[in-house]
């Protein structure tokens, strides 16, 4: 059964930092991609995001910290 979760509905850019509990990070972030942990099953969202003063800052967020697989359905935990 396919499942999906729109990250932009759950992650925002707060002054150059990706954070759960906000939305629409894609509006002020660029070059986003996923990176997978070496030797574990961690998954990171890595972007360059704009700060409040207009600077661009590399940032990342561990998706595993808030996203769970519950009976084949992805959920925010």
The Cα–Cα gap between 52 and 4 comes to 31
Note whether residue 70 is domain-resident: no
Note whether residue 33 is domain-resident: yes
- Tokens coding 21: 């509990």
Taking the whole predicted model, whether its pTM rises above 0.85 is answered as: yes
Task: Look up the CATH number of the domain holding residue 42.
Answer: 2.30.60.10
Note whether residue 77 is domain-resident: no
- Tokens coding 22: 């906000």
The Cα–Cα gap between 23 and 43 comes to 19
Note whether residue 17 is domain-resident: yes
Note whether residue 53 is domain-resident: yes
- Summarised one tens digit per residue, pLDDT across range 28-77 is 999 999 999 888 889 999 999 999 999 999 999 999 999 998 888 899 97
When pLDDT is averaged across residues 1-13 and rounded to a whole number, the result is 90
The Cα–Cα gap between 39 and 6 comes to 26
Note whether residue 59 is domain-resident: yes
pLDDT at residue 1 greater than cutoff 70: no
Q: Which domain holds residue 50?
A: 7-63
Note whether residue 42 is domain-resident: yes
How do strand 67-70 and strand 29-36 relate by DSSP bridges?
A: unpaired
Total number of domains in the chain: 1
């Amino acid at each position: 059964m396919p499942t999906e979760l729109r990250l932009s509905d759950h992650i925002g850019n707060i002054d150059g930092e990706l954070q759960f509990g906000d939305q629409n990070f894609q509006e002020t972030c660029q070059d986003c991609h996923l990176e997978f942990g070496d030797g574990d099953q961690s998954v990171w969202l890595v972007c360059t995001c704009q700060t409040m003063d207009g600077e661009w800052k590399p940032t990342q967020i561990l998706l595993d910290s808030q996203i769970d697989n519950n009976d084949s359905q992805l959920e925010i935990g």
